Amino acid sequence: MNLSENTIKLQNFIKEVPNPEDIPEWSLHERYQLFIDTIIDHNHLYYINAKPIISDAEYDELFAYLKLIEEYYPHIISWTSPTQGLVWQLADGFEKAEHIVPLLSLENSYNENDIREWWNRLSKIAEKAGRDNWEYLLEPKFDGLSVEFIYRNWKLVQWITRWDGKIWEDITSNILMISQLPKIITNTEELHFRGEVLMPKSQLEKLNIEREKKWQTPFSNTRNAASWSLKLLDSNEVWKRGLIVAIYEQLSWTPCDWQSLWLPVFNLPENYRRTKDIEQIIKRCLDPQLKQFLEEQDIDFDWLVIKVRDDSLGNQESVWGNLFWNTTNIGPWIREILWGTEHHPRWAIAYKFPAQQAASQIRSVDFQVWRTWIITPVANIDPVQLSWATISRVSLHNFDFIQTKQIRNKDFVRVQRSWEVIPYIVWTIKERRNWTEEEIIPPHFCPVCKWAITNIDIHYYCTNPWCPAQIKEKIIHFASRDAMDITWLGESVVDVLVDQGLLHSICDIYTLTDIKNQILLRKFPNFWEKKIAEIVWEIDKSKSKPLWRILNALWIPNVWKKIAQDLATYLKSKEANSLDKILEVFENEQIKDLFWIGNKIMNWILLYISNPDTLWLLRWLEQHGVIFDATAVDEDNSLSISEEDKEHFSLTWSFPVSRWLFVKALENKWFVYDENPNSKTNIMFIWEKPWSKAEKASNLWIKIYNNFDEIKKIFWLEFPTEEKKSKIIQWGLF
């Protein structure tokens, strides 16, 4: 079997036999050796090739089970086991060097129960020693290559990678190519530091673009890119990779002002760093705002580190990580009491975030029909946890994407999900193929209505205007928050109404206000009197929505919210106060005067309005009360004044109302929302837990408001007591 097959075999075995005590005696040695061989092969791919084919979570599962086997059956422990060290398993061209102090690993935790178990263990040890006062320090863990670097007689003389923590590669020649690292310092003593070699996210993006142009496999993350870059034999090529260095620990015992090294020391916001309460630490580890703050940085962080230290240290930073020599009379330091194992210190533990990348296998491929007629392939994968969400479906976008990524059905793929973003397949793990994979072939017929499909460029289209899947998508979009904003017409309600034959197109939305249809609605489950009344009221209200909402709701190809708003502004300048005048402006191609309207958008608009079905739809909507008037008073106030006259605002967490509601209220007052403060931003709103945006706003001299009650009074903001939006709209791809 190859490595991929062995890995799958062991993963299935762990599920079948979660307790090593239940391993049959006749197969124990064979199974134990298979775990050793498989993990050694993965170590080589990770440490030497910097091309792992499994995720950290999958590796941790294999390694943890191997340790359990050795705990239950200590008589079979082999010196070749990965638990006994890494050095002999790996080989490479760099010379080996020894660390002055072992660079230990950290014990891992994945949830609050793991942290509490660690706390219980250290509390018992401290209690026996008569210590009951200490504090916890929370630090971010850089996701890079851990190293020791040494200064001697003013100069940087050596840099050693960590690997097994005792001895490994001397990569000084390549480290010298990192321009940000000082080569000479003022201190004459021998100094040893521990730090991380990192590749910024922005640099990884540039590097992967270049690699894809050369048909090379892109790096899956910044850690692998940094590790592989340091292994290049051409040091000049290392210089081009844009690596940086961050330090977080001094290993030697010589006092030093390490700020003089000019290296970045990244810390969390002060209110997240120190506490004496373990429950506060757990709360901070699980706080999504903290994770978001770290994700906004240009450096990758893969977990948090919880450290124990004496509270008598005050505001001193924990730069003396392995320095236990006590020169005071306060008694043994808490870290001396706790000490550690050969593998990890007991006074620290790592809390690993739910993975942002994970390996999973494609089980099947579906084809989904969108409102734009496009048929999109969607992969059903083995469920994986990414950023506190379970991912089981991933869009494959189009067949050009499938070909570029060389994705096949049954492939193992690496899936990525940034904060609250739709999951994305980064790359295919070809090393895990076992010849059972199948090519993904475009369908010949629509998977819903069985209509013949059409191929145009990279997309496949269902051209049947009455396809049920398209009808649902179009109605959902028409009623969505950025279109006609019809409350209660979300996915679940639309599914029922289309399946029951009440809705065949967006025109039928306005027939729901008829008495006979209201009576029919009462027969459906979960359609109570108040709900039906609200649906009817929202539908009537939508007839007077501003023109940009109508343009956005009509699913004109390539015309989205921003373009719809710009078109409405232009039509207002042309005094287009009826459907006929709007069509006249479009038909005469006057919008070509707008420099941002290209031929592609122009052609799609002309094609759309020249379709007889479209003209019938527009006339039908007009006859049923929908107002096509660009000059009408805009209830949303979004087009009442010119863009140049509008003030820009930004905000940061957290307010008593939802973010979208806060933004909506301000946009109704002629303000423009900036996701991040910039040179155009005039006002910054902050309240509880301000993050990096507040600091950025201060640096840009932006006026800041930080009292919610005053904000409501100054800007005349009104919010409903009950947020209707929170209970109706279902967002997301699936």
- The predicted model gives 516-527 an average pLDDT of 84
Q: Residues 222, 178: one domain?
A: yes
| Higher pLDDT pick, 359 / 92 | 359
**Cα dihedral 480/481/486/491 (nearest 10):** 40
List 141, 291, 472, 545, catalytic entry? 141
Query: Would you say the C-alpha torsion 384, 388, 393, 397 has a positive or negative sign?
Result: negative
Q: Which of 416, 437, 458 is the last residue of a domain?
A: 437
- The predicted model gives 84-107 an average pLDDT of 58
Q: How far apart are CA 412 and CA 433, in angstroms?
A: 7
What are the pLDDT digits (tens) for 487-507? 778 888 888 888 888 888 888
Q: Residues 538, 685: one domain?
A: no
Q: Does residue 167 lie in a domain region?
A: yes
With pLDDT > 90 as the criterion, what percentage of the chain qualifies?
Answer: 7
With pLDDT > 70 as the criterion, what percentage of the chain qualifies?
Answer: 74
Q: Residues 41, 28: one domain?
A: yes
List 139's β-bridge partners, or say none. Answer: 305
- The predicted model gives 246-270 an average pLDDT of 63
User: 247-251, 542-546, 636-640: which has the minimum mean pLDDT?
Assistant: 636-640
Taking the model in full, what pTM does it have? 0.48
- The predicted model gives 28-36 an average pLDDT of 89
Q: Residues 198, 286: one domain?
A: yes
Q: Residues 62, 13: one domain?
A: yes
What does the pLDDT read at residue 692? 64
Q: Is 230 helix (H, G, I), strand (E, B) or coil?
A: helix
Q: Residues 408, 493: one domain?
A: no
Q: How far apart are CA 672 and CA 638, in angstroms?
A: 9
DSSP 563-631: HHHHHHHHHHHTT--SHHHHHHHHHTTGGGGSTT--HHHHHHHHHHHTSHHHHHHHHHHHHTT----TT
Residue 317 has pLDDT above 50, yes or no: no
Q: Residues 501, 554: one domain?
A: no
CB 148, CB 103: distance < 8 Å: yes
CA 495, distance to chain mean position in Å, is 30
Q: How far apart are CA 487 and CA 479, in angstroms?
A: 7
pLDDT grade, residue 93 (50/70/90)? very low
Residue 519 has pLDDT above 80, yes or no: yes
Q: Provide the domain count of the chain.
A: 6
pLDDT grade, residue 50 (50/70/90)? low
Residue 693 has pLDDT above 90, yes or no: no
Q: Does residue 107 lie in a domain region?
A: no
Q: How far apart are CA 731 and CA 481, in angstroms?
A: 10
Residue 321 has pLDDT above 60, yes or no: no
What are the pLDDT digits (tens) for 550-587? 998 987 877 877 778 878 888 888 888 899 988 888 87
Q: How far apart are CA 581 and CA 574, in angstroms?
A: 9
Task: Assess whether 214 carries a catalytic annotation.
Answer: no
Residue 184 has pLDDT above 80, yes or no: no
| Higher pLDDT pick, 46 / 5 | 5
Q: Residues 501, 582: one domain?
A: no
Residue 530 has pLDDT above 70, yes or no: yes
Q: Which of 526, 542, 558 is the last residue of a domain?
A: 542
Q: Residues 165, 307: one domain?
A: yes
Q: Which of 542, 571, 587 is the last residue of a domain?
A: 542
**CATH code where residue 75 lies:** 1.10.287.610
Residue 326 has pLDDT above 50, yes or no: no
- The predicted model gives 236-265 an average pLDDT of 66
CB 487, CB 725: distance < 8 Å: yes
What does the pLDDT read at residue 509? 92
Q: Does residue 630 lie in a domain region?
A: no
Bond before 480 cis per omega within 30 degrees: no
Residue 379 has pLDDT above 90, yes or no: yes
Residues with Cβ within 8 Å of residue 476, at least 6 apart in sequence: 371, 489, 490, 491, 494
CA 647, distance to chain mean position in Å, is 30
| Higher pLDDT pick, 537 / 189 | 537
Q: pLDDT averaged over the chain?
A: 76
What are the pLDDT digits (tens) for 659-674? 777 787 777 666 788 8
CB 443, CB 459: distance < 8 Å: no
- Which residue has 């000479």 as its token pair? 184
pLDDT grade, residue 364 (50/70/90)? very high
- Range of the structural domain that residue 343 is part of: 112-352
Q: Taking the chain, what is the end-to-end CA distance rounded to the nearest angstrom? A: 37
Look at residues 155, 148, 150, 149 and name the one whose alpha carbon lies nearest to residue 185.
Answer: 155
| Higher pLDDT pick, 303 / 721 | 303
